[in-house]
Structure 1
């Protein structure tokens, strides 16, 4: 299947010109719309997960020669976990070009962390099959560059970091306020705010577990607090 204009534009955002664009089309095809002549992205996701893992492990190993295995492992987990992959997928607009069946689309599939993470890993595999290891490795390093730079902080639980920060300021632990919950029981979509007693807050939303959205809200508030410190 030849790519449409939307997928061609997405390839430009990736920074990779596909010699065989059918790999990218397959990487963006969810099982809900797959047919015998239009395979889904599950096999590519399997391969991309391994490429991502090795690239990230190598990058962490080379970046800090003094880090112990006990320090490297949580950093690795922070970089390859589904929430991180989904966040990066959103940064490059992957959800906009996912090919989904009607029911999956109606249930908010373009926003689901699991679908976005799996598709991003499939995209990594598509680049690997199209152009080889170095191209896939370069893609991962480019997309993950910001997260690699702050991985020592990201490796720590965001809710724990926010609680420690609040306590250091003489505040009680932050509250997590559920602003809304929509969607079916099997795929709830949460909108949650992390709120400090001085009124500062940040919100996040996502489809998945309530805890994962709380973590995202805590991370958003930590980022906001860091930006405040930078601007003063």
Structure 2
């Protein structure tokens, strides 16, 4: 698949396109198509969630925040499900996902958690592809707080 339009939207080109493909593959799709569960987004979403937290916490500290409670509160405000869902929707990420048939029928991406997980998987894949700088560059490109 050609991801050039997605690359333009996120401001990053994957060196290992398989990582991006994994990030865009839902478990239901993999089951229906007899793909390995290794080739799905789930583990990448967990990683991407941690990467988002890392990037935001580093920014807060870099901006001079030093209080543990304030860092935690601000991080929660900046990377909550609603914010991350909006990032996914702003780049049209659901259109690139490989959905299971039931997910397509139910339009499951309209659930905030599902869209947020898709963006987290993208961030996790970017981290594995190019380190924290790759993930940071995507966030810088798509995040307009």
1:8-47 alignment to 2 at 5 Å? 8-34=4-30, 35-37=34-36, 39-47=39-47
Q: Deviations over 1:126-155 (max 9, x none)?
A: 1111122212222223333x22xxxxxxxx
1:208-223 alignment to 2 at 5 Å? none
CA contact (8 A) 2:12 2:137 kept: no
- TM-score of the two chains, using structure 2 as the length reference: 0.87
Structure whose residues are more often strand by fraction: 1
Structure whose residues are more often helix by fraction: 2
- Where does the alignment leave 5 or more consecutive residues of structure 1 unmatched? 148-232
- Offset, 1:66: 5.2
2:138 equivalent in structure 1: 139
* Runs of 4+ with deviation above 6 angstroms: none
Tell me: CA distance 1:96–1:36, structure 2 relative to 1, closer, same or farther (3 Å). Answer: closer
CA contact (8 A) 1:27 1:123 kept: yes
Tell me: CA distance 1:120–1:69, structure 2 relative to 1, closer, same or farther (3 Å). Answer: same
Count of aligned pairs between the two proteins: 141
- Counterpart Cα distance in 1 of 2:117 and 2:51: 13
1:116 aligns with 2:112: no
- Counterpart Cα distance in 2 of 1:114 and 1:41: 14
* 3-state SS of paired residue (2:53): helix
2:71 equivalent in structure 1: 72
- Counterpart Cα distance in 2 of 1:112 and 1:8: 26
Higher relative contact order (CA 8 A, sep 6+): 2
- Where does the alignment leave 5 or more consecutive residues of structure 2 unmatched? none
1:50 equivalent in structure 2: 50
> Which structure has the greater CA radius of gyration?
1
- TM-score of the two chains, using structure 1 as the length reference: 0.56
